[in-house]
Amino acid sequence: MAKQDELVFLPLGGVGEIGMNLALYGYGPADNRQWIMVDCGVTFPGPDLPGVDLVLPDIGYLAKERKNLKAIIITHAHEDHYGALADLWPGLNVPVYGSPFTAGLLEAKRNFEKDAIGEVPVTIFKAGDTINVGPFSIEGVAVNHSIPEPMSLMIRTPLGNVIHTGDWKIDHEPSLGPLTNETRFRQLGDEGVLALMCDSTNALRDGVSPSEKDVSESLAKIIEDAEGRVAVTTFSSNVGRIRTIAEAAEAAGREVLLLGSSLKRVVDVSRDIGLMEGIKPFIAEDEYGYIPRDKVVVILTGSQGEPRAALAKLSRDEMRNVAFSAGDIVVFSSRAIPGNEKAIQDIKNGLIEQGVHVITDSEALVHVSGHPRRNELQKMYELTRPKVVVPVHGEATHLTAHKELAEQSGISMVPRVRNGDMLRLAPGPAEVIDEAPHGRIYKDGLLIGDFDEMGIGERKKLSYVGHVAVNVVIDSRFDIIGDPDLVAVGLPVFDDEGDDMEDALFDAVVGAIESIPRARRKDLNMLQEAVRRAVRAAANQIWGKKPVVTAFITKV
């Protein structure tokens, strides 16, 4: 009896969380499926992951499926959709498809980071194109989003068609690129759509998203009315917003300065592929000081409070050629990603202390989301008429709200799916049939590994309680020779009476060894543990915390 072919959906990231989007689609019998990957993104570490640079999806599941992975398709070049590609692709080595902007940005990142990442060859695939990969035929469909050349995917298979929306919205007056192709989505609905995998980011928000045109008008008025300098911080990949600001600056007779390496890379790529046509060249940083305050606009990185970004440095007055003055304006043309609020507020406070006027989206329409609100989601249901809607791209709150909306809109099958759930879409009703290994791995400098491999748990502990290293030298009679060496890092210098903390720990070391009969000191491991415990106990008595202690016993 022939084994049954199945069409399955398996997210390894991005479903139950914001960021780190990675989805697998499989076709074939359970023991020999062929797979494609859609997107390969990262998320960013919070303060609970000290030293970690990036968080990537764990794709260990693909180790046994590697020979059956046929391609990776990138919907757009936001970090949460393509940021893990350079690090994970070498272990996969399969064809990658993406837009010209995606390919250009990936290459620009490689050139900037030099030895940190290798080359990833990208085959150009954009909205309107169709590629055939194994049993899958994949068509790109134009959508609006806050980055050039985003696309949804129509994935055709012998068991049914799936639309993977990626990030999208409906904006009838975007600042860059084509409209969301509602006509094509309706045609795909006529063809027949088994399942719609759909963005849930704004499923809690009623109505429709404001247009980029509204933001353009608001920013233009701020720039036109300003008496001093205007600086605008936004996501570096939002080329449409960058164009808007540059056009408003030129209309107001102002020059434009770019600050921030990621912003400059994006603009260079955009110029190379024609997205900055009509925008005059920007000024150099060393020209800034010679231009009157009312004749310049600065576009800069740092909208998320990144401590090394240009805006953070300016808030601390740390840049050599650029500074703000009282009465200048800084516009946050962005939203705060959850977890970044404190860092952003610190920057705002630094700017306000300098007399700078800070404008956010709570004071003026200076930012709109690139994701669909509830009415736009319902419009997508109406256009595509799917039998199944699978809420993706969101935390539990967003996914649940999206599920309820789809059900209220008459969609009969809206399965609950989270990372690692293998959802069978066909044949039969959509249902979760298995759970695949999934999780997170971490990039720290040039290395990538899991939580334990990267020493993150130990690093977190060190950040709370510090470290003490002790070395004791003993002779052949097991007596201490000289004074023990002791170094404490990250501990208080003095106790509550003003006495030196290290002196107390030193006394604890000597006391621990001398309290052990000489005959028992032959067990060096036992001595080492006694010293470790004594130091922790002494620190706890003085400080109320137990440091990490590394003890060495050297016999001569």
Question: Which residues contact residue 448 at a Cβ distance below 8 angstroms, ignoring those fewer than 6 apart?
Answer: 56, 87, 441, 442
Angle at 293 between CA 305 and CA 219, to 5 degrees: 55
Q: What are 554's two structure tokens?
A: 């050297």
Residue 36's Cβ-side half-sphere holds a number of Cα atoms within 13 Å equal to 27
Q: What are 524's two structure tokens?
A: 């060096």
CA torsion sign, 286 to 287 to 292 to 298? Answer: negative
Could you give the CA distance from residue 223 to residue 354 in angstroms, rounded to a whole number?
Answer: 20
Question: Which residues contact residue 53 at a Cβ distance below 8 angstroms, ignoring those fewer than 6 apart?
Answer: 45, 443, 444, 445
Residue 39: name the closest of 19, 16, 65 by CA.
19
Q: What are 223's two structure tokens?
A: 């720039």
Question: Which residues contact residue 544 at a Cβ distance below 8 angstroms, ignoring those fewer than 6 apart?
Answer: none
Could you give the CA distance from residue 348 to residue 344 in angstroms, rounded to a whole number?
Answer: 6
Pairing of the two strands 195-199 and 160-164: parallel
Helix, strand, coil: what percent of the chain each, to 5?
Answer: 35, 25, 40
- DSSP tally for the chain: helices H, then strands E: 14, 25
Residue bearing tokens 């231009």: 291
Could you give the CA distance from residue 183 to residue 94 in angstroms, rounded to a whole number?
Answer: 33
Q: What are 291's two structure tokens?
A: 């231009």
Residue bearing tokens 């256009």: 383
Residue 270: name the closest of 243, 249, 235 by CA.
243
Q: What is the pLDDT of residue 107?
A: 93
Pairing of the two strands 329-332 and 122-124: unpaired
Length of the chain: 556
Per-residue pLDDT tens over the stretch 260-297: 999 999 999 999 999 999 999 999 999 999 999 999 99
Q: What is the pLDDT of residue 47?
A: 83
Residue 78: name the closest of 18, 27, 128 by CA.
18
Cβ atoms of 144 and 169 closer than 8 Å: yes
Residue 211's Cβ-side half-sphere holds a number of Cα atoms within 13 Å equal to 12
Q: In this structure, how many other beta carbons lie within 10 angstroms of the beta carbon of residue 449? A: 13
- What is the C-alpha R_g of the chain? 29
For residue 443, the cross-strand partners are 54, 448
For residue 26, the cross-strand partners are 8, 35
Give the 3-state secondary structure of residue 65: coil
Q: What are 280's two structure tokens?
A: 């005059």
Chain-centroid distance, C-alpha 39: 13
Q: In terms of C-beta density within 10 A (0-12 exposed, 13-18 middle, 19 or more buried), how is residue 418 classed?
A: middle
Ranges in the chain, pLDDT < 70: 1-2, 115-117
What domains sit in the chain, N to C, each tagged with a CATH number?
6-207+369-449 (3.60.15.10), 212-359 (3.40.50.10710), 466-555 (3.10.20.580)
Q: In this structure, how many other beta carbons lie within 10 angstroms of the beta carbon of residue 172? A: 11
Per-residue pLDDT tens over the stretch 247-256: 999 999 999 9
Angle at 212 between CA 207 and CA 217, to 5 degrees: 115
Q: In terms of C-beta density within 10 A (0-12 exposed, 13-18 middle, 19 or more buried), how is residue 522 classed?
A: exposed
